Amino acid sequence: MIYNFRIDRDSRDEIMRRLREESLLSQGWGGGKDGDLRIDRDDYVIACKNFYRLASTRIATNLTWMREFKDGDIVVTPHLPDNGKVSIHIINGNFPDCYAYLEHDESHLNNRFRVKQSYGLNGNVDIHNVNLARWYGKLQWLRLPVLPIQEFETDFQGIIEELRKRPGTEIGASGLQDFLEKITKDTLDRLRQSLNSISASTSEISFEKICERLVTSTGYRIERRHVYDSAGGDIDLRCVRERSYSSPFEAGQTLLFVQVKKHEGNTDEWSVNQLLKMIEKEPEADGCVMSLADGFTDEATTLAEKNGILLMNGAEICRLLMKELADSA
Q: Residue 161 CA to chain centroid, in angstroms?
A: 12
Longest dimension (CA), the chain: 93
Q: Does the pLDDT of residue 250 top 60, yes or no?
A: no
Residues in the chain: 329
What does the pLDDT look like over 201-219, one tens digit per residue? 888 999 999 999 999 998 8
SS3 readout for 297-322: CHHHHHHHHHHCEEEECHHHHHHHHH
Residue range 171-185: average pLDDT? 87
Q: How far is CA 247 from CA 216, 240, 287, 288, in A?
A: 17, 15, 21, 22
Give the model's pLDDT for residue 85.
96
C-alpha–C-alpha distance, residues 53 and 201, integer Å: 67
Give the model's pLDDT for residue 245.
57
What does the pLDDT look like over 90-132, one tens digit per residue? 999 999 999 999 999 999 999 999 999 999 999 999 999 999 9
User: Residues 6 or more apart from 294 whose CB is under 8 A from it?
Assistant: 264, 265, 266, 313, 314, 315
Edge-first strand listing for the sheet containing 286-291: 221-228, 234-242, 253-261, 286-291, 309-312
Q: Does the pLDDT of residue 251 top 90, yes or no?
A: no
DSSP state of 68: G
On whether the pTM is more than 0.75, the answer is no
What does the pLDDT look like over 269-315, one tens digit per residue? 999 999 999 999 999 999 999 999 999 999 999 999 999 999 999 99
Give the model's pLDDT for residue 230.
79
Q: Does the pLDDT of residue 252 top 80, yes or no?
A: no
How high does pLDDT run on average in the chain? Answer: 92
Structural domains of the chain, ranges and CATH numbers in brackets = 2-174 (no CATH), 207-328 (3.40.1350.10)
C-alpha–C-alpha distance, residues 210 and 194, integer Å: 11
Residue range 173-200: average pLDDT? 89
What does the pLDDT look like over 133-166, one tens digit per residue? 999 999 989 999 999 999 999 999 999 999 999 9
Strands 286-291 and 253-261: parallel
C-alpha–C-alpha distance, residues 31 and 90, integer Å: 25
Q: Does the pLDDT of residue 247 top 70, yes or no?
A: no
Strands 99-101 and 111-119: antiparallel
C-alpha–C-alpha distance, residues 313 and 315, integer Å: 6
| Contact between 48 and 29 (Cβ < 8 Å) | yes
Task: Read off the pLDDT band of 231 (50, 70, 90).
Answer: confident
